[in-house]
């Protein structure tokens, strides 16, 4: 059957001139790849782009959720420092006493304590101490607000001193973000009361900045318990979007909370803004990630059309290119057929003449005897090609060496801070992770110090940015001289912050290095008119831990950062070693 089919096609082609055979082949070779590749490209690219976009969106919401958690952890660390302070403990103990005078004195002192602690934070709009019955101790509070706070605090689960984050119905009718935490007496670990903080949602809106989103998508934070949007990006706020999250999305969030699945995605049909014009609904892909220890989810909604927009663009481009290619193929088939058939016709004439004995050696076709010329030139061209290949190999070798050198230079630049010449943040992150794993294998301590130049912004404002850059370079050079061991790393962490990592070093030894640097820097007497010390100084937070596989190096970073805040709080120009707070 196959042989008969092939024989029939061959016979048909033999009855067709070569010109039209070429035209047919060019058209088939142009149209078939166009149809096949266009279909495959559109289907596969649609699926691939959708998958990649969902993966990208998932990583975005996970990172945003992590950033939100870091802000909450930073707030909790601040709260813990406050509630464990002697001033707060004394005021609560005085309030717990039986005397009315003592309670009144304690109530008068508590607003001052909160103002000193949080008065400078513009994103905190309510701050109250609560008694054991969740009532606000400040007698001057607005009644409706006090009732809202008491209702919120009464519904908070007992978390044994851990913070609870949730949403609160404000008297204005809007939703607010609130954090509450029980306070225990340090003396007997009994409940002393609680702390309530009301925060502006705009404080968390900053976590959406510099987030790269697919066109038409939205990102926001939703409370899964009541389905309300509590934090929105500036772009979403600009749209004045009052539409509540889709019911299917809310149910998916509640199901995720129930099953303990913090990350996932869902596809649903949403009402189109143009539904009144008969355009129907739009398909939406929503990717979500839960903020740990809360019922809040970071949600990124992406219109399905936006996901496959790139695939459609590729399909349209392929169709356009294919159509142009088809036109070009038809044109080229005619030109190519003529360029081949005309010499063949003249060659056939020569053959016919040879058969009759009347042979004409010459061909009258333009470009006469091209094959002969090609044969005569082939040897010369072969020699030239050989020589060119030798030169090309030499050039390739030279270019390879130059490329290797350039790659080496690029690798050094990618790990070096351009201003100070020391390691940059990227190199620091890699070294810290590697040294943490190595220390964990050897059960050795690893020390980290975070250095912040005191009042550097004022230095820049007073002396100018060029002087500020020179100051950073001198500090970096001095820090390298003070950290002498070859295995240790000195890096610029960002802005006016520096770090050094000391391997196999415990806290006291790392503190000694840090204090030596502080003293050496002050001895340089670099003028700083805006500093209370009249010269450039630095505050240093030192932390040291015995690394293990169950923890991440971020714990060491947080400890050093906490110690740095303590050094600043104690007056700056000093090094402080992190110690775990007492339970």
Residue 62 reports pLDDT greater than 80? yes
Planar angle of CA 249, 255, 256, nearest 5 degrees = 90
Q: CA 338 to CA 309: how far, in whole Å?
A: 43
Total domains present in the chain: 3
580 vs 199, 556, 565, CA distance in Å? Answer: 28, 12, 14
Please check whether residue 156 is in contact with residue 168, taking contact to mean a CB–CB distance below 8 angstroms.
no
pLDDT in tens, 22-43: 667 667 666 666 666 666 665 6
Q: CA 22 to CA 338: how far, in whole Å?
A: 10
Q: Which of 218-232, 240-254, 334-348, 423-437 has the highest mean pLDDT?
A: 423-437
Strands of 497-503's sheet in order across: 489-494, 497-503, 445-453, 538-546, 575-577
Residue 569 placed within a domain:
yes
Average confidence (pLDDT) over 342-363? 58
Average confidence (pLDDT) over 383-393? 66
Same domain, 391 and 456: no
Please check whether residue 578 is in contact with residue 557, taking contact to mean a CB–CB distance below 8 angstroms.
no
Q: At what angle do helices 18-83 and 100-118 cross, to 10 degrees?
A: 150
Tokens of 245: 């999250």
Same domain, 196 and 101: yes
Same domain, 400 and 512: no
CB atoms within 10 A of CB 573: 21
Same domain, 439 and 568: yes
Please check whether residue 95 is in contact with residue 131, taking contact to mean a CB–CB distance below 8 angstroms.
yes
Looking at residue 358, its pLDDT comes to 54
Residue 526 placed within a domain:
yes
Looking at residue 450, its pLDDT comes to 97
φ, ψ dihedrals at 369, nearest 5°: 60, 45
Tokens of 12: 């048909």
Average confidence (pLDDT) over 503-514? 94
pLDDT in tens, 166-184: 888 777 677 788 888 888 8
Residue 150 placed within a domain:
yes
Residue 582 placed within a domain:
no
Same domain, 93 and 194: yes
- For residue 306, name the pLDDT band (cuts at 50, 70, 90): confident
For 195-221, b where at least 16 C-beta lie within 10 A, e where not — what string? bbbbbbbebbbebbeeeebbeebbbbb
Looking at residue 227, its pLDDT comes to 77
Same domain, 470 and 379: no
Same domain, 520 and 540: yes
Nearest CA-CA partner of 562 in 475, 433, 452:
452
Please check whether residue 467 is in contact with residue 475, taking contact to mean a CB–CB distance below 8 angstroms.
no
Residue 57 placed within a domain:
no
Same domain, 407 and 429: no
Tokens of 307: 């996901």
Residue 352 reports pLDDT greater than 80? no
- Lowest mean pLDDT: which of 59-63, 90-94, 208-212? 208-212
What are 167's strand-pairing partners? 177
For 483-500, b where at least 16 C-beta lie within 10 A, e where not — what string? beeeebbbbbbeebbbbb
Q: What is the mean pLDDT of the chain?
A: 78
Same domain, 429 and 571: yes
For 37-55, b where at least 16 C-beta lie within 10 A, e where not — what string? ebeeebeebbeebbeebbe
Same domain, 494 and 570: yes
Residue 532 placed within a domain:
yes
Q: CA 290 to CA 165: how far, in whole Å?
A: 13
Q: Which domain holds residue 388?
A: 369-413
What contacts 335, CB < 8 A, 6 or more positions away? none
The tokens 């802000």 sit on which residue? 71
- Lowest mean pLDDT: which of 389-393, 452-456, 484-488? 389-393
Q: Of 200, 220, 238, which one is at a domain's C-terminal end?
A: 200
Q: Which residue has the higher pLDDT, 149 or 582?
A: 149
Q: Of 147, 165, 200, which one is at a domain's C-terminal end?
A: 200
CATH of residue 528? 3.30.70.270
Same domain, 573 and 440: yes
pTM comes to 0.47
Q: Which of 95-99, 296-300, 536-540 has the highest mean pLDDT?
A: 536-540
Looking at residue 64, its pLDDT comes to 82
Q: Based on the number of CB atoms within 10 Å of its own CB, is 110 exposed (0-12), middle (13-18) or buried (19 or more)?
A: buried
Looking at residue 106, its pLDDT comes to 81
pLDDT in tens, 210-220: 676 767 778 88
Q: Which of 164-168, 176-180, 480-484, 488-492 has the highest mean pLDDT?
A: 488-492
Q: Of 182, 200, 218, which one is at a domain's C-terminal end?
A: 200
Average confidence (pLDDT) over 91-119? 82
Tokens of 349: 């004439």
Tokens of 290: 């839960």
The tokens 């790393």 sit on which residue? 489
Provide the H-helix boundaries in 84-182.
Answer: 86-96, 100-118, 143-154
Tokens of 254: 């509640």
Q: Which residue has the higher pLDDT, 550 or 38?
A: 550
Residue 168 placed within a domain:
yes
Q: Based on the number of CB atoms within 10 Å of its own CB, is 239 exposed (0-12), middle (13-18) or buried (19 or more)?
A: exposed
CB atoms within 10 A of CB 554: 12
Looking at residue 231, its pLDDT comes to 83
Q: CA 477 to CA 521: how far, in whole Å?
A: 11
Residue 96 reports pLDDT greater than 60? yes
Q: Which of 230-244, 296-310, 441-455, 481-495 has the highest mean pLDDT?
A: 441-455
Residue 276 reports pLDDT greater than 50? no
CA-CA-CA-CA torsion sign (328, 330, 333, 339): negative
Looking at residue 2, its pLDDT comes to 83
Same domain, 565 and 438: yes
Looking at residue 250, its pLDDT comes to 78
CATH of residue 119? 3.30.450.20
For 377-401, b where at least 16 C-beta lie within 10 A, e where not — what string? eeeeeeeeeeeeeeeeeeeeeeeee
Please check whether residue 164 is in contact with residue 181, taking contact to mean a CB–CB distance below 8 angstroms.
yes
Average confidence (pLDDT) over 125-151? 76
Residue 279 placed within a domain:
no
Residues of the chain with pLDDT > 90, as a percent, come to: 25
């Amino acid at each position: 059957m196959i042989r008969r089919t092939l024989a029939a096609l061959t016979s048909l082609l033999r009855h067709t001139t070569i010109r039209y055979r070429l035209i047919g082949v060019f058209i088939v070779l142009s149209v078939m790849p166009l149809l096949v590749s266009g279909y495959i490209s559109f289907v596969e690219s649609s699926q691939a782009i959708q998958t990649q976009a969902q993966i990208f969106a998932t990583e975005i919401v996970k990172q945003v959720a992590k950033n939100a958690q870091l802000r909450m952890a930073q707030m909790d660390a601040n709260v813990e420092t406050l509630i464990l302070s002697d001033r707060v403990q004394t005021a609560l103990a005085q309030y717990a006493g039986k005397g009315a005078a003592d309670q009144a004195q304690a109530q008068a002192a508590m607003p001052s304590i909160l103002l000193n602690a949080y008065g400078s934070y513009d994103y905190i709009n309510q701050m109250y101490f609560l008694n054991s019955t969740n009532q606000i101790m400040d007698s001057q509070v607005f009644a409706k607000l006090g009732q809202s706070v008491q209702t919120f605090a009464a519904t908070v689960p007992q978390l044994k001193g851990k913070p609870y984050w949730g949403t609160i119905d404000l008297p204005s009718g809007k939703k607010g973000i609130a954090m509450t935490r029980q306070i225990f007496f340090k003396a007997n670990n009994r409940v002393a009361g609680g702390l309530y903080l009301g925060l502006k949602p705009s404080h968390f809106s900053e976590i959406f900045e510099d987030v790269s989103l697919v066109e038409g998508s939205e990102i926001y934070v939703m409370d899964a318990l009541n389905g309300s949007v509590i934090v929105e990006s500036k772009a979403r706020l600009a749209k004045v979007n009052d539409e509540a999250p889709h019911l299917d999305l809310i149910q998916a969030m509640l199901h995720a909370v129930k099953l303990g699945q913090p990350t996932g995605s869902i596809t649903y049909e949403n009402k189109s803004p143009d539904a009144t014009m008969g355009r129907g609904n739009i398909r939406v892909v929503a990717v979500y990630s839960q903020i740990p220890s809360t019922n809040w989810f970071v949600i990124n909604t992406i219109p399905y059309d936006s996901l496959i927009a790139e695939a459609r663009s590729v399909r349209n481009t392929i169709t356009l290119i294919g159509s142009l290619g088809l036109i070009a193929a038809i044109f080229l088939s005619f030109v190519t057929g003529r360029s081949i058939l005309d010499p063949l016709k003249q060659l056939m004439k020569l053959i016919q003449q040879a058969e009759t004995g009347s042979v004409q050696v010459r061909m009258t076709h333009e470009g006469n005897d091209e094959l002969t010329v090609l044969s005569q030139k082939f040897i010369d061209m072969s020699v030239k090609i050989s020589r060119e290949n030798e030169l090309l190999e030499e050039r390739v070798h030279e270019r390879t060496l130059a490329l290797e050198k350039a790659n080496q230079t690029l690798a050094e630049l990618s790990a070096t801070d351009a201003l100070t010449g020391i390691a940059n943040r990227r190199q620091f992150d890699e070294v810290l992770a590697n040294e943490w794993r190595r220390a964990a294998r050897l059960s050795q301590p690893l020390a980290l110090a975070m250095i912040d130049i005191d009042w550097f912004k004022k230095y820049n404002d007073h002396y100018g940015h060029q002087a500020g850059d020179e100051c950073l370079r001198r500090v970096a050079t001095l820090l390298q001289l003070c950290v002498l061991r070859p295995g240790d790393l000195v890096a610029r962490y960002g802005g006016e912050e520096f770090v050094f990592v000391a391997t196999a070093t415990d806290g006291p030894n790392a503190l000694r290095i840090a204090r030596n640097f502080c003293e050496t820097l002050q001895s340089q007497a670099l003028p700083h008119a805006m500093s209370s010390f009249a010269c450039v100084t630095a505050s240093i937070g030192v932390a040291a831990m015995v690394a293990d596989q169950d923890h991440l190096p971020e714990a060491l970073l947080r400890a050093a950062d906490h110690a740095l805040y303590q050094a600043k709080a104690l007056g700056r120009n000093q090094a402080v070693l992190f110690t775990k707070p007492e339970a």
